Amino acid sequence: MEQRPNILFLFTDQQRYDTIAQLGNDIIKTPTMDRLVREGTSFTRAYTPSPVCVSARCALVTGLPPHVNGCWDNMAMRQDIPSFMDQLTAAGYQTHGVGKMHFTPDATRMWGYESRDISEEGAGANDAFRAYLAENDYGHVHEPHGIRSEYYYIPQPSQLPAHLHNTAWTADRSIDFLNQRDSTRPFFLWSSFIKPHPPFESPTPWNKLYRASDMPEPFRFEGMDAVQSYWNLRQNRYKYRGAGYDALLMRTMKAAYYSCISFIDFQMGRIIEALGDQIDNTLILLSADHGELLGDYGAVGKRCMLDAACRVPMVVRYPRKYQAGTQCNIPVSLLDVYPTFTSAAECDKVTVSTEGLPLNDIADGKTDRDATYSQFQTGSYGLYMVTTQTHKYVYSVADKKEMLFDLVADPKETLNQIDNAMYADVLGELKNRLITRMAEGDSDRLIVENGQWTTYAGHTFPTDDPDIGLLYQDPGNTQDLVDALGPDYAHCVTKPGSESHVMIDTSDRQHPLSRESNV
């Protein structure tokens, strides 16, 4: 009987698909990721099932898409669905997680792991990284992952030295696990990095690796508003990019973003080195939860179905089943990770019917996969997408906007072909596929009604002062620190009445959505 492989899951937050040197980026330096590309299979059309942190991760660990698992934004995850960690633990694997998991509402829940080293952006009582900083005389750093609020998309140096940075800590704890694990059992290790999620900050000398003058400006073109949706405008507003274009800021932002990725790449190299002679008996999967617009199309953030935001890197190295140096262009999804892991581990008691397929079967042409899907939000704020190798169809409910892209003739998604009669057949097929798929599990008819998109009144975009929607993501004790300055400096650091703190109005369908999150 063939030995079951160890599994190493290398995961980043908000890393674009086009940020690996070996896959065509001539600027970024990623020698570790390049090695995985040379020695494994690259899935070059990998997509997130939801372009936002919590929803993407909920779909990832449950194997179920947002409209089925009920998590379609940064909101509470259902607690009754077995995760792939549950399955691997039940199959006898020693399972351990390090770093950001973003499990909600309880960030400390094990979700099937035997053990975890917890680190999340929001400080918690059981946050192992915060305890580590305190032990090393850096507990005074108020926001160790970077300063948010007004500085959220402002490139900034880390307040920590490189050896104490969370990126290094994630690698250190991963290596500790590999050195101390039970060698009589196969292991599953999820090394989950917080970066390059904003704030874009990395420590010296990594923050000097790229300079703004070497960075190309974001991809922009006349008429780019035609490929943006309501959520692009809303994100720009909350992330301070709605006021106008700043070329230097955008190029500096890209330099800082690339620095975060190269620092992660270095730490991933340390983890892989620690595998030692187990490397060829370890299935290594590299991916991310979603991308980042990074100024392209005049926008930042995620919550968008353009490739820059919803397409992710995905590389698998496992010599027994994945051919070295190959690329697979069939659309795949983070939903495929669940069955990839459970099939490799020979889990025989999988209790969840996942939508995904094992990645090795897709790469070997053993499936009929030809499309994948994504969703953000629901009801009157819903954003939905289906993509094949050649075309992509998007529907944005809030502004009643349909988009159709020819990915062969227009890979940068600059022309919305929705009104082009030459694409009528393609449009009809993709629209029908997406509506049919989204109707499954939509018992409240929030998405589809009578075989068509559910009709809503739509939303107009606010026209008041953009500063009314300032980001406030300060840690909970920020006001206490300000109060300690004394009455002469009294100031309220939050605006409870600001737009970022109100519930989204869905009274038109009597379906309460979560409070908008700017994470």
Whether 280 and 247 have beta carbons less than 8 Å apart is answered as no
Residues 309/288, Cβ–Cβ less than 8 Å: no
Residue 502 has pLDDT above 60, yes or no: no
The answer to whether residue 358 scores a pLDDT higher than 50 is yes
**Most confident among 76-80, 123-127, 407-411 (mean pLDDT):** 407-411
Lowest-confidence segment of 15-19, 42-46, 187-191, 234-238 by average pLDDT: 234-238
Equal CATH topology for 6-369 and 381-453: no
The superfamily CATH assigns to domain 6-369 is: Alkaline Phosphatase, subunit A (3.40.720.10)
Tell the residue number behind the tokens 């890209």, with chain if given: 254
Report the C-alpha gap between 322 and 85 in whole angstroms: 22
Options 3.40.50.1370, 3.30.70.600, 3.30.1120.10, 3.20.20.60; CATH for 381-453 is: 3.30.1120.10
Asked if residue 117 lies in contact with residue 98, where contact means CB atoms within 8 angstroms, the answer is yes
Best mean pLDDT range from 226-235, 459-468, 508-517: 226-235
Please state the rounded mean pLDDT for residues 206-220.
Answer: 96
CA angle 30, 57, 127 (to 5 degrees): 85
**Higher-confidence position of 421 and 446:** 421
**Tens digits of residue pLDDT in 290-324:** 999 999 999 999 999 999 999 999 999 999 999 99
Is the pLDDT reported for residue 461 higher than 90? no
Say how far apart CA 220 and CA 297 lie, in whole Å.
5
Domain spans, the chain: 6-369, 381-453
pTM for the model: 0.93
Q: Could you give the strand order of the β-sheet that contains 371-376, starting from the edge strand earlier in sequence? A: 371-376, 383-388, 391-396, 401-406
pLDDT at 478 over 90: no
Q: Looking at the predicted structure, is the pLDDT value of residue 496 above 60?
A: no
Average the pLDDT over 3-13 and give the result.
98
Q: What is the mean pLDDT of the chain?
A: 90
pLDDT tier at 103, thresholds 50, 70, 90: confident
Q: What is the pLDDT at residue 126?
A: 84
